[in-house]
Amino acid sequence: MYQIIKTEGRAKRAQLETVHGTIQTPVFMNVGTAAAIKGAVSTMDLQEIKTQVELSNTYHLHVRPGDKVVKQLGGLHKFMNWDKPILTDSGGFQVFSLSKLRRIKEEGVYFNSHVDGRKIFMGPEESMQIQSNLASTIAMAFDECPSSRADRDYVQASVNRTARWLKRCKEEMARLNSLEDTINKNQLLFGINQGAVYEDIRISHAQEIAEMDLDGYAVGGLAVGESHEEMYRILDEVVPHLPQNKPTYLMGVGTPSNILEAVSRGVDFFDCVYPSRNGRHGHVYTSQGKRNLFNARYELDSRPIEEGCQCPACRHYSRAYIRHLLKAKEMLGMRLCVLHNLYFYNHMMEEIRQALEQGRFEAYKKEKLEGFEQAKAEK
């Protein structure tokens, strides 16, 4: 059950009760593509860096090790030893972005595996079955994410098909949740709004899916090449048409600034690969913006990445040491940067929740954005 605790303008402080525990929102979900966060981060680490929700990729786990293998081993929670909520994406995004050879039909998509080239078919029912086998807490509907450069006619036809697919997802999820041998019979389903940069298409699609009484609603297909201003404009237009009494998830977004802007527009679920990907390259987030630890200025710098940060990297190690590890290509360097970055995001979400509770989110947002801007000006 989803409960709104407090609002400030359109921003929501809420909580979602699930069979794997209560999620406090706004929340940043930590992306572990193949059931692990890239950068040698384990589920033991996730406990320490304030992770609430782990996100795994349906497509990757379907290809390897196979969702049936995961099911035989008791589902994703047992497999990766994580008892808190897990969200699985639908596989749609990877099908459309990773596979060069694909054919989209009414029934679903035919494509070749990016690992061994074998032919795979995935439609709404297959995506729901795979996610049911994985037994995640929240499953995402199977959709097409049309390119932000696609023409209007293509986007309209694609969105119409995505809406028909959503009805099939909902029916299949209800059937799977009623089966005797389903691991998580309370699996939740979030629908996804699409429509590229055409807000009228997005609005009518949002109104259509809002009537379907799903467990949550996502805005997909943003942060794929359009400007930040365009993304904020679309959120301004679309979010008010999604049910306010349900979670609102902005998929694949984004920078700390993007998150602050989206929270004030009513979004309360986020995920993004930036903190782990940047961490693997020695780029670390701080309240004064991003730092590149490869920079020579950190050679003799005995301070932590960010003073006052309570993450495992900052509590124990200096910028100089982590810089040395990165330059020596020691895996620990990358790991410490990823831990710090994920902690930075998770901690910022905690501060956002506190600010909302105390009715000072707009002031908090302004102060944070000014800090990030300061660093940009100094570079």
Q: Does 311 bind Zn ion (CB under 5 A)?
A: yes
Q: Which of 20, 77, 202, 340 binds Zn ion (CB under 5 A)?
A: 340
Q: Does 63 bind Zn ion (CB under 5 A)?
A: no
Q: How far apart are CA 184 and CA 45, in angstroms?
A: 25
Q: Which of 80, 86, 314, 342 binds Zn ion (CB under 5 A)?
A: 314
For the CB of residue 336, give the shortest distance to Zn ion in the complex, in Å: 9
Tell me if residue 271 is catalytic.
Answer: yes
Residues comprising the chain, all counted:
379
Distances, alpha carbon 328 to alpha carbons 294, 303, 321, 341, in Å: 11, 20, 10, 20
Which residues are within 8 A (CB) of 200 and not within 5 positions of it... i.e. 6 or more apart?
Answer: none
- Read off φ and ψ for residue 4, nearest 5 degrees: -85, 125
Residue with Cβ nearer Zn ion (147 or 287): 287
CB-neighbour burial class of residue 34 (10 A; exposed 0-12, middle 13-18, buried 19+): middle
At 15, list the tokens: 């909580």
Of 45, 143, 215, 271, which is the active-site residue?
271
Reading phi first (left if > 0) and then psi (alpha if -120 to 50, else beta), residue 345 is in alpha
Q: Does 309 bind Zn ion (CB under 5 A)?
A: yes
Q: Does 12 bind Zn ion (CB under 5 A)?
A: no
Binding region for Zn ion (CB under 5 A) out of 1-9, 51-59, 229-237, 300-308: 300-308
Q: How far apart are CA 299 and CA 215, in angstroms?
A: 50
In single-letter form, the type of residue at position 103 comes to R
Of 45, 89, 143, 215, which is the active-site residue?
89
Binding region for Zn ion (CB under 5 A) out of 31-39, 311-319, 322-330, 359-367: 311-319
Q: Does 218 bind Zn ion (CB under 5 A)?
A: no
For the CB of residue 88, give the shortest distance to Zn ion in the complex, in Å: 29
For the CB of residue 278, give the shortest distance to Zn ion in the complex, in Å: 14
Helix (H, G, I), strand (E, B) or coil at 232: helix
Number of residues that bind Zn ion (CB under 5 A): 6
At 215, list the tokens: 């467990």
Query: Which residue numbers are catalytic?
Result: 89, 271
Residues of this chain that bind Zn ion (CB under 5 A): 305, 309, 311, 313-314, 340
